[in-house]
Protein backbone atom coordinates (compact mmCIF):
# COMPACT_ATOMS: atom_id res chain seq x y z
CA UNK A 1 0.00 0.00 0.00
CA UNK A 2 1.24 3.55 -0.73
CA UNK A 3 2.11 5.84 2.16
CA UNK A 4 3.01 9.48 2.47
CA UNK A 5 6.83 9.35 2.56
CA UNK A 6 8.43 10.18 5.92
CA UNK A 7 10.72 12.66 4.21
CA UNK A 8 9.71 14.73 1.21
CA UNK A 9 11.62 14.56 -2.08
CA UNK A 10 13.05 17.58 -3.92
CA UNK A 11 10.85 19.26 -6.53
CA UNK A 12 13.05 18.16 -9.45
CA UNK A 13 12.83 14.51 -8.44
CA UNK A 14 9.07 14.76 -8.12
CA UNK A 15 8.65 16.36 -11.53
CA UNK A 16 10.97 13.80 -13.12
CA UNK A 17 8.92 11.00 -11.55
CA UNK A 18 5.75 12.47 -12.99
CA UNK A 19 7.32 12.75 -16.45
CA UNK A 20 8.30 9.11 -16.20
CA UNK A 21 4.78 8.04 -15.20
CA UNK A 22 3.27 10.11 -17.97
CA UNK A 23 5.41 8.34 -20.55
CA UNK A 24 3.05 5.34 -20.07
CA UNK A 25 0.10 7.38 -21.36
CA UNK A 26 -1.23 7.84 -24.86
CA UNK A 27 0.17 10.86 -26.63
CA UNK A 28 -3.13 12.58 -27.42
CA UNK A 29 -1.41 15.47 -29.22
CA UNK A 30 -0.78 13.04 -32.10
CA UNK A 31 -4.52 12.58 -32.58
CA UNK A 32 -4.55 8.81 -32.17
CA UNK A 33 -7.43 8.93 -29.68
CA UNK A 34 -10.98 9.94 -30.58
CA UNK A 35 -12.26 10.10 -27.00
CA UNK A 36 -11.39 11.93 -23.74
CA UNK A 37 -9.62 15.02 -25.12
CA UNK A 38 -10.00 18.10 -27.31
CA UNK A 39 -7.00 19.85 -28.79
CA UNK A 40 -6.44 22.53 -31.38
CA UNK A 41 -2.84 23.74 -31.17
CA UNK A 42 0.02 24.81 -28.91
CA UNK A 43 -1.07 28.42 -28.94
CA UNK A 44 -4.43 27.60 -27.32
CA UNK A 45 -2.73 25.13 -24.98
CA UNK A 46 -0.42 27.87 -23.68
CA UNK A 47 -3.30 30.24 -23.07
CA UNK A 48 -5.28 27.54 -21.23
CA UNK A 49 -2.35 26.57 -19.04
CA UNK A 50 -1.30 30.10 -18.13
CA UNK A 51 -4.85 31.17 -17.38
CA UNK A 52 -5.34 28.10 -15.19
CA UNK A 53 -2.05 28.77 -13.40
CA UNK A 54 -2.98 32.40 -12.75
CA UNK A 55 -5.83 31.09 -10.54
CA UNK A 56 -4.41 27.67 -9.76
CA UNK A 57 -5.41 27.65 -6.09
CA UNK A 58 -8.08 30.35 -5.84
CA UNK A 59 -11.34 28.97 -4.51
CA UNK A 60 -14.39 29.93 -6.52
CA UNK A 61 -16.59 29.25 -3.49
CA UNK A 62 -15.08 32.40 -2.01
CA UNK A 63 -16.41 35.01 -4.39
CA UNK A 64 -16.32 37.65 -1.59
CA UNK A 65 -12.56 37.20 -1.53
CA UNK A 66 -12.16 36.70 -5.29
CA UNK A 67 -14.58 39.03 -7.05
CA UNK A 68 -12.53 38.68 -10.23
CA UNK A 69 -13.58 35.02 -10.42
CA UNK A 70 -17.22 36.03 -10.12
CA UNK A 71 -16.80 38.48 -13.00
CA UNK A 72 -15.05 35.85 -15.17
CA UNK A 73 -17.74 33.29 -14.37
CA UNK A 74 -20.53 35.76 -15.14
CA UNK A 75 -18.92 36.56 -18.48
CA UNK A 76 -18.54 32.88 -19.39
CA UNK A 77 -22.22 32.32 -18.58
CA UNK A 78 -23.25 35.49 -20.45
CA UNK A 79 -21.28 34.60 -23.60
CA UNK A 80 -22.72 31.09 -23.52
CA UNK A 81 -26.30 32.28 -23.06
CA UNK A 82 -25.85 34.61 -26.04
CA UNK A 83 -24.57 31.68 -28.13
CA UNK A 84 -27.21 29.21 -26.97
CA UNK A 85 -30.45 31.12 -27.28
CA UNK A 86 -30.78 32.55 -23.78
CA UNK A 87 -33.18 35.50 -23.80
CA UNK A 88 -33.83 38.22 -21.24
CA UNK A 89 -34.17 36.54 -17.87
CA UNK A 90 -32.13 33.43 -18.71
CA UNK A 91 -29.47 32.26 -16.28
CA UNK A 92 -26.75 29.71 -15.74
CA UNK A 93 -24.45 27.86 -13.37
CA UNK A 94 -20.79 26.98 -13.92
CA UNK A 95 -20.20 23.33 -12.97
CA UNK A 96 -17.39 20.80 -12.95
CA UNK A 97 -18.60 18.78 -15.94
CA UNK A 98 -21.50 17.43 -17.93
CA UNK A 99 -22.42 14.93 -15.25
CA UNK A 100 -22.80 17.62 -12.62
CA UNK A 101 -24.81 19.87 -14.99
CA UNK A 102 -27.15 16.96 -15.70
CA UNK A 103 -27.40 16.01 -12.04
CA UNK A 104 -28.45 19.55 -11.17
CA UNK A 105 -31.02 19.63 -13.97
CA UNK A 106 -32.61 16.39 -12.78
CA UNK A 107 -32.54 17.57 -9.17
CA UNK A 108 -34.22 20.82 -10.16
CA UNK A 109 -36.88 18.98 -12.18
CA UNK A 110 -37.65 16.71 -9.23
CA UNK A 111 -37.73 19.52 -6.70
CA UNK A 112 -39.99 21.68 -8.87
CA UNK A 113 -42.42 18.83 -9.48
CA UNK A 114 -42.53 17.93 -5.79
CA UNK A 115 -43.20 21.54 -4.83
CA UNK A 116 -46.03 21.74 -7.34
CA UNK A 117 -47.57 18.30 -7.07
CA UNK A 118 -46.68 17.09 -3.59
CA UNK A 119 -46.10 13.39 -2.90
CA UNK A 120 -45.16 11.41 -5.99
CA UNK A 121 -42.96 8.65 -7.39
CA UNK A 122 -40.97 10.75 -9.84
CA UNK A 123 -39.75 9.39 -13.17
CA UNK A 124 -37.80 10.73 -16.13
CA UNK A 125 -38.39 9.77 -19.76
CA UNK A 126 -35.45 9.77 -22.14
CA UNK A 127 -34.32 8.24 -25.44
CA UNK A 128 -32.14 5.16 -24.93
CA UNK A 129 -29.23 7.00 -26.58
CA UNK A 130 -29.08 9.53 -23.72
CA UNK A 131 -25.87 9.50 -21.69
CA UNK A 132 -25.78 7.03 -18.79
CA UNK A 133 -24.99 9.87 -16.42
CA UNK A 134 -28.77 10.47 -16.33
CA UNK A 135 -29.17 7.02 -14.79
CA UNK A 136 -26.49 7.78 -12.21
CA UNK A 137 -28.22 11.04 -11.29
CA UNK A 138 -31.56 9.24 -11.14
CA UNK A 139 -30.16 6.60 -8.82
CA UNK A 140 -28.95 9.25 -6.39
CA UNK A 141 -32.10 11.35 -6.66
CA UNK A 142 -34.63 8.54 -6.35
CA UNK A 143 -35.99 8.88 -9.89
CA UNK A 144 -37.28 6.01 -12.00
CA UNK A 145 -35.61 5.96 -15.43
CA UNK A 146 -37.75 5.20 -18.49
CA UNK A 147 -35.45 4.70 -21.48
CA UNK A 148 -37.33 4.62 -24.77
CA UNK A 149 -35.78 3.04 -27.90
CA UNK A 150 -34.91 5.53 -30.64
CA UNK A 151 -36.33 5.11 -34.13
CA UNK A 152 -34.51 3.70 -37.16
CA UNK A 153 -33.31 7.27 -37.79
CA UNK A 154 -31.39 7.08 -34.47
CA UNK A 155 -33.45 9.96 -33.07
CA UNK A 156 -35.85 10.07 -30.14
CA UNK A 157 -39.26 8.61 -30.94
CA UNK A 158 -41.52 11.38 -29.67
CA UNK A 159 -44.77 9.37 -29.80
CA UNK A 160 -43.18 6.45 -27.94
CA UNK A 161 -41.81 8.83 -25.32
CA UNK A 162 -45.22 10.47 -24.93
CA UNK A 163 -46.69 7.02 -24.30
CA UNK A 164 -44.25 6.43 -21.43
CA UNK A 165 -45.09 9.69 -19.64
CA UNK A 166 -47.55 9.91 -16.78
CA UNK A 167 -48.46 12.35 -14.01
CA UNK A 168 -45.25 11.47 -12.16
CA UNK A 169 -42.96 12.32 -15.08
CA UNK A 170 -40.84 15.19 -13.86
CA UNK A 171 -38.50 15.56 -16.84
CA UNK A 172 -38.19 14.79 -20.52
CA UNK A 173 -34.72 14.63 -22.04
CA UNK A 174 -33.33 15.09 -25.54
CA UNK A 175 -29.71 15.08 -26.72
CA UNK A 176 -28.07 17.61 -29.00
CA UNK A 177 -26.45 15.36 -30.05
CA UNK A 178 -26.27 12.00 -28.25
CA UNK A 179 -22.89 10.38 -27.62
CA UNK A 180 -23.42 6.92 -29.17
CA UNK A 181 -24.34 8.15 -32.68
CA UNK A 182 -23.93 11.94 -32.80
CA UNK A 183 -27.55 12.44 -33.86
CA UNK A 184 -29.82 15.23 -32.69
CA UNK A 185 -33.17 14.38 -31.14
CA UNK A 186 -36.20 16.39 -32.33
CA UNK A 187 -35.86 18.93 -29.53
CA UNK A 188 -38.69 21.22 -30.68
CA UNK A 189 -41.20 18.33 -30.66
CA UNK A 190 -39.96 16.98 -27.33
CA UNK A 191 -40.08 20.44 -25.76
CA UNK A 192 -43.64 21.00 -27.01
CA UNK A 193 -44.62 17.64 -25.49
CA UNK A 194 -42.95 18.52 -22.18
CA UNK A 195 -44.70 21.89 -22.09
CA UNK A 196 -48.11 20.27 -22.74
CA UNK A 197 -47.53 17.83 -19.87
CA UNK A 198 -45.98 20.34 -17.47
CA UNK A 199 -42.63 18.51 -17.39
CA UNK A 200 -39.13 19.98 -17.20
CA UNK A 201 -37.44 19.74 -20.62
CA UNK A 202 -33.69 19.22 -20.47
CA UNK A 203 -31.52 19.42 -23.58
CA UNK A 204 -28.22 17.59 -23.21
CA UNK A 205 -25.93 19.69 -25.41
CA UNK A 206 -22.80 18.64 -23.51
CA UNK A 207 -21.23 17.63 -26.83
CA UNK A 208 -23.03 20.00 -29.21
CA UNK A 209 -23.27 23.21 -27.20
CA UNK A 210 -20.04 24.80 -28.36
CA UNK A 211 -19.79 23.03 -31.71
CA UNK A 212 -23.24 22.73 -33.28
CA UNK A 213 -23.92 26.49 -33.62
CA UNK A 214 -20.69 26.82 -35.61
CA UNK A 215 -21.29 23.68 -37.68
CA UNK A 216 -24.66 25.22 -38.58
CA UNK A 217 -22.97 28.47 -39.61
CA UNK A 218 -20.79 26.45 -42.00
CA UNK A 219 -24.00 25.43 -43.79
CA UNK A 220 -24.71 22.02 -42.24
CA UNK A 221 -28.26 21.14 -41.32
CA UNK A 222 -28.47 21.40 -37.52
CA UNK A 223 -31.96 21.55 -36.02
CA UNK A 224 -32.88 24.15 -33.40
CA UNK A 225 -31.95 22.83 -29.95
CA UNK A 226 -31.24 25.99 -28.01
CA UNK A 227 -32.89 27.58 -24.98
CA UNK A 228 -34.94 29.70 -27.38
CA UNK A 229 -36.95 26.64 -28.49
CA UNK A 230 -40.36 27.01 -26.78
CA UNK A 231 -40.72 24.55 -23.90
CA UNK A 232 -36.98 24.06 -23.24
CA UNK A 233 -36.31 24.53 -19.53
CA UNK A 234 -32.58 23.81 -19.26
CA UNK A 235 -29.56 22.94 -21.37
CA UNK A 236 -26.19 21.45 -20.43
CA UNK A 237 -23.13 22.47 -22.49
CA UNK A 238 -19.56 21.42 -21.73
CA UNK A 239 -16.88 24.05 -22.11
CA UNK A 240 -14.32 21.31 -21.46
CA UNK A 241 -15.47 19.54 -24.61
CA UNK A 242 -15.89 21.64 -27.77
CA UNK A 243 -15.64 24.87 -25.79
CA UNK A 244 -11.95 23.88 -25.92
CA UNK A 245 -11.27 24.58 -22.23
CA UNK A 246 -9.32 22.29 -19.90
CA UNK A 247 -11.25 19.84 -17.75
CA UNK A 248 -13.61 20.91 -15.01
CA UNK A 249 -15.80 23.32 -16.99
CA UNK A 250 -19.45 22.86 -17.93
CA UNK A 251 -22.63 24.89 -17.72
CA UNK A 252 -26.21 24.28 -16.75
CA UNK A 253 -28.17 27.03 -18.50
CA UNK A 254 -31.84 27.76 -17.80
CA UNK A 255 -34.33 29.71 -19.93
CA UNK A 256 -35.66 31.33 -16.77
CA UNK A 257 -33.08 32.25 -14.12
CA UNK A 258 -35.70 31.67 -11.42
CA UNK A 259 -35.45 27.93 -12.17
CA UNK A 260 -31.91 27.92 -10.72
CA UNK A 261 -33.53 28.04 -7.30
CA UNK A 262 -34.73 24.46 -7.76
CA UNK A 263 -31.13 23.19 -7.63
CA UNK A 264 -29.98 25.44 -4.83
CA UNK A 265 -28.95 24.04 -1.47
CA UNK A 266 -29.29 26.39 1.47
CA UNK A 267 -29.11 25.80 5.19
CA UNK A 268 -28.22 27.33 8.54
CA UNK A 269 -28.37 24.07 10.49
CA UNK A 270 -24.91 24.35 12.03
CA UNK A 271 -22.93 26.80 14.15
CA UNK A 272 -21.08 28.56 11.35
CA UNK A 273 -24.02 30.44 9.78
CA UNK A 274 -25.76 30.28 6.39
CA UNK A 275 -24.33 28.09 3.65
CA UNK A 276 -25.70 28.11 0.11
CA UNK A 277 -24.63 26.59 -3.20
CA UNK A 278 -26.13 26.09 -6.65
CA UNK A 279 -23.73 23.21 -7.42
CA UNK A 280 -22.92 19.91 -5.77
CA UNK A 281 -19.45 21.24 -5.01
CA UNK A 282 -18.34 23.40 -2.12
CA UNK A 283 -14.79 24.42 -2.91
CA UNK A 284 -14.51 25.04 -6.65
CA UNK A 285 -11.31 25.43 -8.71
CA UNK A 286 -10.84 29.03 -9.84
CA UNK A 287 -8.42 27.84 -12.51
CA UNK A 288 -11.20 26.07 -14.40
CA UNK A 289 -13.21 29.29 -14.68
CA UNK A 290 -10.21 31.42 -15.67
CA UNK A 291 -9.11 28.90 -18.30
CA UNK A 292 -12.62 28.60 -19.75
CA UNK A 293 -12.87 32.39 -19.98
CA UNK A 294 -9.41 32.52 -21.58
CA UNK A 295 -10.21 29.81 -24.15
CA UNK A 296 -13.45 31.51 -25.19
CA UNK A 297 -11.84 34.91 -25.53
CA UNK A 298 -8.72 33.61 -27.24
CA UNK A 299 -10.61 31.58 -29.84
CA UNK A 300 -13.47 33.97 -30.45
CA UNK A 301 -16.13 33.02 -32.99
CA UNK A 302 -13.44 32.84 -35.64
CA UNK A 303 -11.56 30.19 -33.66
CA UNK A 304 -14.68 28.13 -32.95
CA UNK A 305 -15.59 28.24 -36.65
CA UNK A 306 -12.08 27.03 -37.45
CA UNK A 307 -12.52 24.12 -35.01
CA UNK A 308 -15.89 23.25 -36.56
CA UNK A 309 -14.44 23.34 -40.06
CA UNK A 310 -11.49 21.10 -39.14
CA UNK A 311 -13.79 18.58 -37.45
CA UNK A 312 -16.28 18.40 -40.29
CA UNK A 313 -13.48 18.09 -42.88
CA UNK A 314 -11.86 15.30 -40.87
CA UNK A 315 -15.18 13.52 -40.60
CA UNK A 316 -15.90 13.78 -44.34
CA UNK A 317 -12.46 12.36 -45.21
CA UNK A 318 -12.70 9.54 -42.67
CA UNK A 319 -16.28 8.57 -43.50
CA UNK A 320 -15.69 8.52 -47.26
CA UNK A 321 -12.39 6.65 -46.87
CA UNK A 322 -13.85 4.01 -44.57
CA UNK A 323 -17.00 3.55 -46.65
CA UNK A 324 -14.78 2.84 -49.66
CA UNK A 325 -13.01 -0.07 -47.91
CA UNK A 326 -14.68 -3.35 -48.96
CA UNK A 327 -16.51 -4.98 -46.05
CA UNK A 328 -16.95 -1.77 -44.00
CA UNK A 329 -19.89 0.59 -43.63
CA UNK A 330 -20.48 3.89 -41.88
CA UNK A 331 -23.64 4.33 -39.81
CA UNK A 332 -26.01 7.06 -40.93
CA UNK A 333 -27.26 9.56 -40.02
CA UNK A 334 -24.54 11.37 -38.09
CA UNK A 335 -25.02 15.10 -37.67
CA UNK A 336 -21.77 16.26 -36.15
CA UNK A 337 -18.25 15.09 -35.28
CA UNK A 338 -19.29 11.70 -33.87
CA UNK A 339 -19.76 8.63 -36.05
CA UNK A 340 -19.67 4.85 -35.95
CA UNK A 341 -18.32 2.44 -38.53
CA UNK A 342 -18.65 -1.32 -38.60
CA UNK A 343 -18.21 -4.47 -40.62
CA UNK A 344 -20.92 -5.03 -43.21
CA UNK A 345 -19.21 -8.23 -44.30
CA UNK A 346 -20.25 -10.90 -41.73
CA UNK A 347 -16.96 -12.74 -42.17
CA UNK A 348 -15.00 -9.69 -41.08
CA UNK A 349 -14.39 -9.58 -37.31
CA UNK A 350 -14.51 -5.99 -36.06
CA UNK A 351 -12.81 -7.08 -32.82
CA UNK A 352 -9.78 -8.12 -34.81
CA UNK A 353 -9.83 -4.91 -36.82
CA UNK A 354 -9.88 -3.00 -33.52
CA UNK A 355 -6.97 -5.05 -32.19
CA UNK A 356 -4.93 -4.37 -35.34
CA UNK A 357 -5.63 -0.63 -35.03
CA UNK A 358 -4.64 -0.73 -31.38
CA UNK A 359 -1.40 -2.49 -32.29
CA UNK A 360 -0.60 0.48 -34.54
CA UNK A 361 -1.13 2.88 -31.61
CA UNK A 362 -4.73 4.01 -32.23
CA UNK A 363 -6.86 3.91 -29.07
CA UNK A 364 -10.09 2.30 -30.25
CA UNK A 365 -13.54 3.08 -28.84
CA UNK A 366 -15.66 -0.04 -29.36
CA UNK A 367 -19.39 0.49 -29.84
CA UNK A 368 -21.65 -2.14 -28.28
CA UNK A 369 -24.72 -1.68 -30.50
CA UNK A 370 -24.23 -2.15 -33.35
CA UNK A 371 -20.91 -3.89 -32.88
CA UNK A 372 -18.57 -1.27 -34.30
CA UNK A 373 -16.03 1.47 -33.72
CA UNK A 374 -16.94 4.90 -32.37
CA UNK A 375 -15.12 8.15 -33.03
CA UNK A 376 -15.63 11.55 -31.43
CA UNK A 377 -13.51 13.94 -33.45
CA UNK A 378 -11.80 17.13 -32.38
CA UNK A 379 -9.75 19.60 -34.44
CA UNK A 380 -6.48 17.68 -34.24
CA UNK A 381 -8.04 14.81 -36.18
CA UNK A 382 -7.98 16.82 -39.40
CA UNK A 383 -4.21 16.31 -39.51
CA UNK A 384 -4.51 12.51 -39.15
CA UNK A 385 -7.70 11.85 -41.15
CA UNK A 386 -5.98 10.34 -44.20
CA UNK A 387 -3.53 8.44 -41.99
CA UNK A 388 -6.45 6.94 -40.05
CA UNK A 389 -8.15 5.67 -43.21
CA UNK A 390 -4.90 4.01 -44.30
CA UNK A 391 -4.52 2.43 -40.86
CA UNK A 392 -8.10 1.09 -41.02
CA UNK A 393 -7.41 -0.36 -44.44
CA UNK A 394 -4.31 -2.16 -43.12
CA UNK A 395 -6.23 -3.30 -40.01
CA UNK A 396 -8.96 -4.85 -42.16
CA UNK A 397 -6.37 -6.70 -44.22
CA UNK A 398 -4.76 -7.98 -41.00
CA UNK A 399 -8.11 -9.06 -39.54
CA UNK A 400 -9.46 -11.08 -42.44
CA UNK A 401 -10.11 -14.70 -41.40
CA UNK A 402 -10.01 -16.31 -37.91
CA UNK A 403 -12.53 -16.40 -35.05
CA UNK A 404 -14.97 -13.71 -34.00
CA UNK A 405 -14.23 -11.59 -30.94
CA UNK A 406 -17.17 -9.70 -29.42
CA UNK A 407 -16.55 -7.10 -26.69
CA UNK A 408 -15.31 -9.07 -23.66
CA UNK A 409 -17.35 -9.06 -20.43
CA UNK A 410 -14.69 -7.00 -18.61
CA UNK A 411 -13.42 -4.93 -21.54
CA UNK A 412 -13.54 -1.13 -21.06
CA UNK A 413 -15.14 0.58 -24.06
CA UNK A 414 -15.44 4.13 -22.69
C1 LIG B 1 -23.88 13.73 -24.52
C2 LIG B 1 -23.11 13.71 -23.23
N3 LIG B 1 -23.71 14.09 -22.09
C4 LIG B 1 -23.07 14.09 -20.92
C5 LIG B 1 -21.76 13.69 -20.82
C6 LIG B 1 -21.08 13.66 -19.46
O7 LIG B 1 -20.12 14.66 -19.39
P8 LIG B 1 -18.86 14.57 -18.38
O9 LIG B 1 -18.04 13.40 -18.82
O10 LIG B 1 -18.20 15.90 -18.59
O11 LIG B 1 -19.39 14.41 -17.01
C12 LIG B 1 -21.08 13.31 -21.97
C13 LIG B 1 -19.68 12.87 -21.92
O14 LIG B 1 -19.12 12.39 -22.88
C15 LIG B 1 -21.78 13.29 -23.21
O16 LIG B 1 -21.18 12.87 -24.34
% of residues, the chain, pLDDT over 70: 97
Residue 251 sits in the same domain as residue 335: no
Decide if 406 is inside a domain: no
Residue 291 sits in the same domain as residue 167: yes
Q: Is the pLDDT of residue 113 over 60?
A: yes
Q: Give the least confident one: 146-160, 194-208, 389-403.
A: 389-403
Decide if 18 is inside a domain: no
User: pLDDT for 227-252, tens place per residue?
Assistant: 999 999 999 999 999 999 999 999 99
**Residue 363 phi, psi (nearest 5):** -80, 120
Residue 262 sits in the same domain as residue 306: no
% of residues, the chain, pLDDT over 90: 96
Query: Which residues have any ligand 1 atom within 6 Å of their CB?
Result: 97-99, 131, 133, 175, 178-179, 204, 206-207, 238, 250
Counting the structural domains of the chain, the total is: 2
Q: What is the mean pLDDT of residues 149-164?
A: 98
Q: Is the pLDDT of residue 408 over 80?
A: no
Residue 210 sits in the same domain as residue 330: no
Nearest-angstrom CA–CA distance, 226 and 209: 8
Confidence of residue 85 (pLDDT cuts 50, 70, 90): very high
Give the ligand 1 atom nearest the CA of 241: 10
Decide if 37 is inside a domain: no
**Nearest C-alpha neighbor of 176 from the set 134, 222, 145:** 222
Q: Is the pLDDT of residue 12 over 80?
A: yes
**Nearest Cα residue to atom 4 of ligand 1:** 98
Nearest-angstrom CA–CA distance, 25 and 18: 11
**Nearest Cα residue to atom 6 of ligand 1:** 98
**Nearest C-alpha neighbor of 318 from the set 335, 339, 304, 298:** 339
**Ligand 1 centroid to 34 CA: how many Å?**
14
Q: Is the pLDDT of residue 404 over 90?
A: no
Q: What CATH number has the domain bearing residue 200?
A: 3.40.640.10
Q: How far is CA 149 from CA 127, 128, 154, 232, in A?
A: 6, 5, 9, 22
| Mean pLDDT (the chain, rounded) | 96
Q: Is the pLDDT of residue 106 over 60?
A: yes
Quote the DSSP letter at residue 261: G
Residue 337 sits in the same domain as residue 255: no
Residue 287 sits in the same domain as residue 309: no
**Ligand 1 centroid to 316 CA: how many Å?**
24
Decide if 158 is inside a domain: yes
Give the ligand 1 atom nearest the CA of 247: 10
Owning domain of residue 390 = 300-396
Confidence of residue 115 (pLDDT cuts 50, 70, 90): very high
Residue 172 sits in the same domain as residue 306: no
Where does a domain end: 297, 331, 348? 297
pLDDT of residue 401: 61
Residue 79 sits in the same domain as residue 126: yes
Give the ligand 1 atom nearest the CA of 96: 10
Residue 237 sits in the same domain as residue 332: no
**Ligand 1 centroid to 35 CA: how many Å?**
11
Decide if 95 is inside a domain: yes
pLDDT of residue 202: 99
What is this structure's pTM? 0.96
Give the ligand 1 atom nearest the CA of 100: 11
Residue 306 sits in the same domain as residue 287: no
Residue 244 sits in the same domain as residue 319: no
Cβ atoms of residues 59 and 66 within 8 Å: yes
Residue 256 sits in the same domain as residue 313: no
Amino acid sequence: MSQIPAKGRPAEAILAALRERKAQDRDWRRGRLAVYFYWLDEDLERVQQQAYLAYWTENNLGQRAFPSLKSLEDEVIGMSLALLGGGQGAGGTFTSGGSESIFLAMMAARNRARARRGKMRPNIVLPDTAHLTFDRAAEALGLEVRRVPVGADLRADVAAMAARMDDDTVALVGSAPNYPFGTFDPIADLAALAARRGAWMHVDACVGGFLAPYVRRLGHDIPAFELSVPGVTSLSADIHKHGMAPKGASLLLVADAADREWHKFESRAWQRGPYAAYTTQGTRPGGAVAAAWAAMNHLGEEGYLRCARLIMEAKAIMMAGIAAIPGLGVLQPSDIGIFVWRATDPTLDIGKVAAALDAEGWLVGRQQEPDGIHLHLNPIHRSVAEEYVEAVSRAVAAARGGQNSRIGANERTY
